[in-house]
A and B are shown apart, each in its own frame.
Chain A
Amino acid sequence: MPDPCCNCEGTPRRDFLKLGLGGLVGLGFVDLLRGRARASDTPGAVDPRAAGGARAQGVNCILIWLDGGPSHYETFDPKPDAPEGVRGELKPIPTAVPGVHFCEAIPKLASVADKFTVIRSVCHKDPNHGGGNHYMMTGAPTPVPVGCGAFVTFHPSFGSVVSWKRGVRDGIPAYVSMPEMSRSGGPNFLGGKHAPFVIKGSPNSKGFRVRDVSLPAEIAAGRELGRRQLQQSLDRLKRFADAAAEDPAVDFDSHYRQALGLVTSKSAQEAFDISKEPDEVREMYGRNDFGQRLLLARRLVEAGVSFVTCYSGGWDHHTKLFESYKGSKVAELDRGLSALIVDLDRRGLLDSTLVFCLGEFGRTPKVNKDAGRDHWPHAMSILAAGAGTPRGYVLGATDAKGYHASQDIHSPEDFAATLYVKMGIDPNQHLYANASRPVQLVSGGTPIRELFA
């Protein structure tokens, strides 16, 4: 048993020394750690600057965004003992983790629950799509109230920050979003360079190609080479090699070279071509656009994309929720997401790939008159997997009826800090927004200790 006078990192701590050895009576060591981890001024239960180190630099992230706010009751946090009118029409089912139940709408995810963590206790106070989107995509609440229909950006999104930190590797965009950018998924003051590379279209359709990353199919290979040689010989504008001259044409050349590198790299080109994936794998994810996007996301992170957002809309079930959750949309989520996790795991990629699935908020406990639930930020569920996230773990809890997060309560800031630390980015660092005002990347968030197994 480790020296109880010190914490895991081996540094002695004020609060512990004070309590003396006698203070250990009646407490398990784990409880003690948990107690200390919660102490408001325990400096760095997880040291943001040290966590992961070089390894964390190699972690990529796939974030599945369920736009509209998926119901925690009908996914990862069923409440069968809540009163009628709250518990809903669906039943809980056991999962691969003893004692843990999910909703019957996601049986495949239940069967692989031993591979991921479910966080049941993140909460906030913004019931608007506009605000909730922003909070959960950037880790920062909106500074002014925004309406439900608003698409706003006040702070850089996770993907943009990762793009800014990691940069482009061998011409591969650092941040991809498909089939569209989520409302608050933009770079804000980090600049256009860190906007997501959006891959539109339908990966499930025949002949689907990721735009712009491959030579145009219409141009034959020989001709392509020819025109490139022409371009190289004809591009006569003088460049100034001296760095002090800040010649934008020099940057242009460097970007062009990287782009060319991407276009001529066999492995990168194959990664973008989803048709190269064996049929049985494509089946496993589900032959629909959502599932195929997750598969494409896997291929992209394998090729070196640092952050991929898979956007799925239509999760705002104010009406006919139970019907919908029994239907194809949730089935596609269930199939595709479980396939992604299993696929990453068996390919040995789960350690270096962080996976999150979440929406703006949860949904109201009281079922409304249209058999739906409305917006409810006081409770929500987030799926987290990979990059050292514990397997088969449930973090936190909501109260007996699913109204409020009640145990191990965490804020969106804590979630953001966790994401960043897992990717080797210090959440406490300062960025400089337009007016040279220092802005903390994550303001007031602490990485969630339990997610760093």
Chain B
Amino acid sequence: MEKLRSFIFAVIASAAAAYVPAARGDSPPAGYHPVFATSLSPDQKRLAVARGDTVWVFDVQSAERPVSAKLSTPGEMVFSLSWSPDGKWLASGGAGKVRVWDVAGGKASIELNGLAGRVGALAFTKDSSVLLAGDEGSVRQWRVSDGTALPQWTAHGDSVLAIELIGDGAVLATAGGDKLVKLWERESGKLVATLEGHAAQVTALAVSPDGKHLASGGADREVRVWDLSTKEKGESLPPHPAGVSDLAWLNGEKVLTACEDGSVRVAVVGKERRFERTLPAASDALYALALSADGKTAYAGGHDGEVYAWSVEKSAAEKKLAFAAEPSGAPSPPGSLSFVNDVLPVLSKAGCNAGACHAKPMGQSGFRLSVFAYDPRSDHRAIVKEIRGRRVTPNAPEESLLLRKPTMAVDHGGGRRLKKASDAYATLVRWVREGMPYGPTGTPTLVGVEVSPKEQRYTKGAAQPLRVTAKYSDASTRDVTALSDFSSNEKSVATVDETGVVKVADVPGEAVIVARYMGMVDVSRVTVPADDLLPDAFYASLPANNFIDRHIHERLKVLGLSPSDGCTDAEFLRRASLDATGKLPSPEQARAFLADDSPRKREKLIDQLLSDPAWADHWAGKWADLLRPNPFRAGVKSVYLLDQWLRDSFRQNKPYDRFVRELITARGSTHRDGPVVVFRDKREPADIGAFVAQVFLGVRMECARCHHHPNEKWSQEDFYQLAAFFAPLKRKGQGISAPISGEAEFVWFAPGGGVSHPVTGETMKPKAPDGPADAIDAARDPREALASWMTRPDNPFFARAAVNRVWAELMGRGIVHPVDDFRASNPPTNGPLLDALAKDFADHGYDLKHLVRTIMRSRAYQRSSLPNERNVADSRNFSRWYRRRPAAEVLLDAVSDVTGVRERLPGGTPDGRAVQMWNYRQESDFLDAFSRPNASADPPCERDGAGSVVQALHLMNSNRLVSKIADSTGQAAALAASKKTEKEIVEELYLLAYSRPPTEEELSIAATAFSQPGATRQSATEDVMWALINSAEFVFNH
């Protein structure tokens, strides 16, 4: 006894001042007693189990495996166990201390204090003379006989999660939360080797029977086997389905592993590296495994506090070990918190599960939450069970990593996310103290949120607090304003702070405030009317050519805007030609149109342009940007065929609904049936669904692929139900791999094949977003049903999305912008206009030419691009026509037309036009400079209208352009050689480039080119041509 006492004091005296957690916590909550460690005694007769704050010892010789001893440490959880090889001692590791129990003699324990945090690993040397312990970073050791502290050292930058002695104990291996395994000389603490390779915390170690290999298991789901002599990694096992908590060698070639999903496996290591068999699983996460020396019986315990037993040879479960008269896991007391309804909202508001932090695909620092809390069960597991529950400390809740990290009580890369004196913090503390319940079954689920006020007119500078109410399945409600996230889609009109207070700025307009709570969204509309409105009579007197103008004028009235004047005939001619046919008008056409004084000449011109064959290539190209795959992924031949089908469809002016139906329901061969190629390029139902939604419904459902859509009502269910239409497709033939073009691939409908919800695993039935829930005959291609739904006159998306695209092409901006982003939080700038256009389109058989004609006939299309004082700041209400640069191919063709020299692109015809090119890969500096889509990107490929210095450099200095201008067969040469006067030459150049004659002043300036010293007719003509091409009036459609 004297020895023990001096042992204690010696140890206490020698312990360095270090972090000492709360010496004693409260009792753990009822029902919370996970098994963190199991250990079989050396004589195989006893099994020690660390369960909650008690160590149980079972007599496993006897068939009933009764309890033979119970060592309680009330309020102190036990995290690790180890028997001394001589069977005399059982060491248990707690929080900040290690106890050494004399089980045989039933003596009181010896306590070794001064360790830092959880003691997650214990080991005795082979001769039982030394006990080692690993805590939250260091390895410590003591001589057992007299308690002398032996060398201790910092082993890892994070917790030590396992210790194994190797051979005679001269060397030991440690596994750390810092993803490393390290080998040390035990006596000196010298580092022998670092074994790197795990991608997450390493939780388990085991030395092979022959002492030559070390197996390590980690939270990265991997088991790696290391050669102890070369320190090299051997073959790893295939990944387990969940983190590997513990493992043991069955014999020289096999290991037994226990996982965080409760599964237990026998695996063959070495060259074979495969799973051999799975034992019947435990009902909850397993944390600790013990295997009898003869390899016949395995025991494991985990989160539910049970100890499972198996006959390994028979792969059969045996009776669970019985704890004396223990109440089984107590149900959550009434009134306890719900993880989903109470805890997750706190974490969400604090930003823990933001896509930038723990909700990254790989999590952050090994801790992963689902983004927008779409997978609460997985989040609960991550917080409560991963890595032996190290993130929560229910018997001392404020010690939990879950609470220390966000309050910066320890270093946290994410900074301070919670204040200690807050409701949020208190909620988390209470939840941990309650034992981290998930919540009883029957907990009401969130069904929606409502913002108030839903819409309101504001005066400039006003402020308004919003209130967000959550609604649950049991009709209860809760004010969740403090836990909601807010954003404004139009910060220049109104902003909103994180408490939901809207502040209105000082410009008139409209804004939408989005409130988001736990995956549900609602919007509040803000309208700030203009101060000085114009009288109704003003708008009534504005010329209106059709319904488009009436709707636009209504909108301008609300905002107090006045429209610009009409454009000139020359402007209209050039604009309409470029928009309808992608071509500049010829000088003859220009002269004729400008000279014509019939009152309906613009309408006649529109009709002429729409019947020009050039319409087809120009407009097909716009859909090619959206549909045509990367030929270096899908194959050159097949992409060409799709392109030809597109052009042909536009040549026929195929009604748009038929066009889309043909595409969506395509089947056949990629080397024969163009539209099939879309299904070659996009192979996953989820990819196809997202694509169809974006391109044809104008809805970016892609966000809902992984979680609830952050800004709209779409759920993952909606997303995968849409994807389900494309699940029963079979493919055969040349897959996506090198060589790329190779043979054909066939795509056809075949019943079977489904899509599962990624979280619930439920097989999704095909259902369109907001569409009917009718069952679809499984023997019929569901894509037909989708196409029918899409093209129904009352479909809310299809026609609107289509007219919006065409509107954007002609008017410079969609009524909804971006054109494929329809959502409640991104409303159209003119809803009635959009609706009217959609209805008109559907009523006229989805005829694209009719739509274009209608828009071009409107006054809105025929406005000048020059602003007036009132509308100078308007860029979305169509008070004037918005300038833009034409697409790269159109501009290149325009240059070719003006210079009179065609571009001759590889794969094209000698007199072909750039708009006829069927892939983006043909080399062309010009097209690249003017933002032709990157050939390696996947469709839809948006074009970039921005300018750049490279464009300017190219126009200015390109050798190609210079030679085209100077070409002997070109326009300049022809003009120079002709009999025209200098002024006539200039006039011709103006008509070519600008579709208008020059003014007197311009004529005289341009004519000076001819009288420059050293100038010839040829060189002067070239110079004027160059000057016109290098001007904004040429480069822009204005």
Q: Using known A-B contacts A18-B136, A234-B1027, A255-B949, determine if residue A38 contacts B180 with beta carbons closer than 8 Å.
A: yes
**Which chain A residue shows the least CB distance to B711?**
A436
Q: By the criterion CB–CB under 8 Å, are B873 and A242 in contact?
A: yes
Which A residues are CB-close (under 8 A) to B444? none
Q: Using known A-B contacts A171-B953, A226-B1009, A227-B1027, determine if residue A237 contacts B1032 with beta carbons closer than 8 Å.
A: yes
**Listed stretches A19-27, A303-311, A346-354; interface member:** A19-27
Q: In A238-255, which residues have CB < 8 Å from any B CB?
A: 238-240, 242, 244-249, 251-253, 255
Q: Using known A-B contacts A41-B413, A406-B233, determine if residue A255 contacts B1027 with beta carbons closer than 8 Å.
A: no
Which A residues are CB-close (under 8 A) to B821? 435-436
**Listed stretches B146-154, B448-456, B539-547, B656-664; interface member:** B146-154
- A244–B151 Cα distance when bound, in Å, is 72
- Central interface residue in A19, A39, A146, by most chain B CB within 10 Å: A19
Q: CB within 8 A of B1033: which of A20, A237, A263?
A: A237
Q: By the criterion CB–CB under 8 Å, are B157 and A406 in contact?
A: no
**Which chain A residue shows the least CB distance to B818?**
A434
Q: By the criterion CB–CB under 8 Å, are A18 and B873 in contact?
A: no
Q: By the criterion CB–CB under 8 Å, are B953 and A151 in contact?
A: no
Q: By the criterion CB–CB under 8 Å, are B959 and A216 in contact?
A: yes
**Does A40 touch B at the CB level, under 8 Å?**
yes
Which A residues are CB-close (under 8 A) to B17? 20
**Listed stretches B734-742, B830-838, B971-979; interface member:** B734-742
**Does A370 touch B at the CB level, under 8 Å?**
no
- A418–B721 Cα distance when bound, in Å, is 42
**Does B232 touch A at the CB level, under 8 Å?**
yes
Q: Using known A-B contacts A430-B356, A435-B703, determine if residue A399 contacts B233 with beta carbons closer than 8 Å.
A: yes
**Does B891 touch A at the CB level, under 8 Å?**
no
**Does A111 touch B at the CB level, under 8 Å?**
no
Q: Using known A-B contacts A148-B737, A400-B232, A437-B703, determine if residue A234 contacts B1028 with beta carbons closer than 8 Å.
A: yes
**Does B875 touch A at the CB level, under 8 Å?**
yes
Q: Mark B826-855, 1 if CB is under 8 A from A, else 0.
A: 000000000000000000000000000000
Which A residues are CB-close (under 8 A) to B110? none
**Does B997 touch A at the CB level, under 8 Å?**
no
The secondary structure that dominates the B interface is: loop
**Does A357 touch B at the CB level, under 8 Å?**
no
**Does A149 touch B at the CB level, under 8 Å?**
yes
**Does A186 touch B at the CB level, under 8 Å?**
yes
Q: CB within 8 A of B740: which of A22, A36, A149?
A: A149
**Does B22 touch A at the CB level, under 8 Å?**
no
Q: By the criterion CB–CB under 8 Å, are A438 and B356 in contact?
A: yes
Q: For residue A99, give the distance in angstroms from its CB to the closest CB of chain B.
A: 19
Tell me the count of chain A residues lying within 8 A, CB to CB, of chain B.
Answer: 106
Which B residues are CB-close (under 8 A) to A248? 883-885, 945, 947, 1036
**Which chain A residue shows the least CB distance to B114?**
A20
Q: In A1-53, which residues have CB < 8 Å from any B CB?
A: 13-15, 17-27, 31-32, 35-36, 38-44
**Does B670 touch A at the CB level, under 8 Å?**
no
Q: Using known A-B contacts A234-B1002, A407-B196, determine if residue A40 contacts B178 with beta carbons closer than 8 Å.
A: yes
Q: In A188-210, which residues have CB < 8 Å from any B CB?
A: 188, 191-193, 195, 197-198
Q: In B182-197, which residues have CB < 8 Å from any A CB?
A: 188-191, 194, 196-197
Q: By the criterion CB–CB under 8 Å, are A192 and B156 in contact?
A: no
Q: For residue B359, give the distance in angstroms from its CB to the closest CB of chain A.
A: 11
**Which chain B residue shows the least CB distance to A130?**
B633
**Does A211 touch B at the CB level, under 8 Å?**
yes
- A128–B374 Cα distance when bound, in Å, is 33
- A15–B117 Cα distance when bound, in Å, is 11
Q: For residue B782, give the distance in angstroms from its CB to the closest CB of chain A.
A: 24
Q: By the criterion CB–CB under 8 Å, are A212 and B954 in contact?
A: yes
Q: By the criterion CB–CB under 8 Å, are B18 and A184 in contact?
A: no
Which B residues are CB-close (under 8 A) to A434? 942
**Does A314 touch B at the CB level, under 8 Å?**
no
Tell me the count of chain B residues lying within 8 A, CB to CB, of chain A.
Answer: 119
Q: In B349-365, which residues have CB < 8 Å from any A CB?
A: 355-356, 360-362, 365
Q: By the criterion CB–CB under 8 Å, are B959 and A211 in contact?
A: yes
Q: By the criterion CB–CB under 8 Å, are A40 and B179 in contact?
A: yes
Q: Using known A-B contacts A25-B153, A193-B931, A230-B1024, determine if residue A263 contacts B944 with beta carbons closer than 8 Å.
A: no
**Does B325 touch A at the CB level, under 8 Å?**
no
Q: By the criterion CB–CB under 8 Å, are A151 and B1005 in contact?
A: no
**Does B253 touch A at the CB level, under 8 Å?**
no
Q: Using known A-B contacts A255-B948, A406-B196, determine if residue A35 contacts B1023 with beta carbons closer than 8 Å.
A: no
- A215–B949 Cα distance when bound, in Å, is 15
Which A residues are CB-close (under 8 A) to B956? 212, 215, 256, 259-260, 263
Q: By the criterion CB–CB under 8 Å, are B116 and A173 in contact?
A: no
Q: By the criterion CB–CB under 8 Å, are B632 and A151 in contact?
A: yes
Q: By the criterion CB–CB under 8 Å, are B944 and A242 in contact?
A: no
- A53–B997 Cα distance when bound, in Å, is 56
Q: Mark B863-883, 1 if CB is under 8 A from A, else 0.
A: 000110000110100000001
16 contacts across the A-B interface (CB closer than 8 A): A14-B411, A23-B154, A32-B154, A40-B201, A144-B687, A150-B632, A153-B934, A168-B949, A192-B934, A193-B948, A218-B959, A247-B883, A248-B947, A258-B952, A259-B949, A404-B233
The residues of A with any CB-CB pair to B shorter than 8 Å are: 13-15, 17-27, 31-32, 35-36, 38-44, 144, 146-154, 168, 171, 173, 183-184, 186-188, 191-193, 195, 197-198, 211-216, 218-220, 222-223, 226-227, 230-231, 233-240, 242, 244-249, 251-253, 255-256, 258-260, 262-263, 399-400, 404, 406-409, 428, 430, 434-438, 440, 443-444
The residues of B with any CB-CB pair to A shorter than 8 Å are: 16-19, 116-117, 136-138, 151-154, 156-158, 177-180, 188-191, 194, 196-197, 200-201, 230-233, 355-356, 360-362, 365-366, 410-413, 630, 632-633, 684, 687, 700, 702-703, 711, 736-740, 821, 866-867, 872-873, 875, 883-885, 925, 928, 930-932, 934-938, 942-954, 956-959, 962-963, 966, 1002, 1005-1006, 1008-1009, 1012-1015, 1019, 1023-1024, 1026-1028, 1030-1033, 1035-1036, 1038
